[in-house]
Structure 1
Amino acid sequence: MLAAERRDHLLGLLAREGKIVAKDVAAELGISEDSVRRDLRDLAAEGLCQRVYGGALPVSPAVVDYAARQAVAPHGKQKVAAVAAGLVRPGGALILDGGTTALAVARALPRDLACTVITHSPTIAAALLDHPRAELFLLGGRVFKHSAVACGAAAVEAAQNVSADLCLLGVTGVHPEAGLTTGDAEEAAMKRALAARAADTYVLASSEKIGTASRFRVLPWEDVSALITDADPHAPIVRQLAALGVEVLAAS
């Protein structure tokens, strides 16, 4: 089989099965695992898959820049945001992550809601300036422009000095095997720092992120109270998540 044919085969397998297991492909095609791994490296370099141990998974579409992500699945994000906003109680303290889904949550919060919002995202803070009863605490640090959030040592240290009832956390990938992932190591560390300061953490994930993966693990499933998604609750990948004990809140 020619290299171009192997490439098409791998992409087709990824689309049908939602993953590639290198040893299985090698046995099926009668080639070495090294050849499959080289093909996967090439596909990953083009942004067509996310390599993981033993193979590859679909790459998250949420790795494009912040402006472009605002046009990705806006209706799904609004559905997720509506459910998430309903979890915020009057008088409560909320840690709100950055990113486009979190921005949709900020916009979904009732304008007259009395609450405290802690965020490391200047865009989130700006979106809540016209909420007169919301106290805003903005955590500072090096700005990671991809997600318009503060990250790095200073931001993590600031996060360690706050606490909240609830953390609403965004990720770029949600997968039963790869877990909760994002594309930047410092951003992943910041998300862990934020989640550690809340009594409950809910993950925000519109349907295009379900079944995909990015490079860096954020949290283990046991540290998450629930996943909020507009993905079909009967989809095989969502059923796999539920089988792991993950509570899934449907955003319809």
Structure 2
Amino acid sequence: MLELSDGQIGSWVGSFLLPLFRIASMLMLMPIIGTQLVSARVRLYFSLAICVVLVPALPEMPTVDAISLQALLWIAQEILIGAMLGFTLQLFFQVFVIGGQIVAMQMGLGFASMVDPANGVSVPVIGQLFMILVTLLFLAMNAHLVVFEVLAESFVTLPVGGGFLVDNYWQVANRLGWVIGAALLLVLPAITALLVVNLAFGVMTRAAPQLNIFSIGFPLTLVLGMVIVWIGMADILAQYQVFATEALGFLRAMAGA
């Protein structure tokens, strides 16, 4: 009959389950994998697979009593660290979603919403277009591999049981302002062009009051807005590289990697 001591159980808990909580919490919140497109069961299986691969290369984990208060505190700390890393990546993706929503409101497509299968909410179609585009660029440039590398390094820089880093969470809260500024910078050319179009319609209304601007203004603004978005796609790769570099650098700074 197999008999296990308390020390063996504590060693297994420290070496496998504690890293699993950090990995699983990050995968539950990060973009692409943490969306509703991937079921929670698949995310859990994926977390187990990553944990099995990472555990042999991780530093020695502390031994802890599996049913003690200290184990619960360490589990809560690992969940918070993983959630912090996943939410940091969500901020990067929301830059493009907010930028698309701003452009959609300016060109009159704010009412044209569709269900976002990733988040389960209705968003303007331009925001959904930008979301699909940034997802494809994120995977094509192997940024997800950089994320997993940072996750593995976080076990060295933020060891299990190494303390609670409150300052890192305040940095994530302060990062919310960067999302709005980056979204405005992303769509600033489109907003400026659409503003010129709207000013031109205003001048036309004053010059020719008999002209029914409401009958021609909306479809013309919509067509010109789509042309402006299409032209602006030529520069979105350069903007993506700048924002992705800054976001992944911030992710490394949060993990201390």
Tell me which structure has the larger Cα radius of gyration. Answer: 2
Which category describes the TM-score, using the shorter chain as reference length?
under 0.3
> TM (normalized to structure 1)?
0.22
* Structure showing the higher strand proportion among its residues: 1
More helix by share: 2
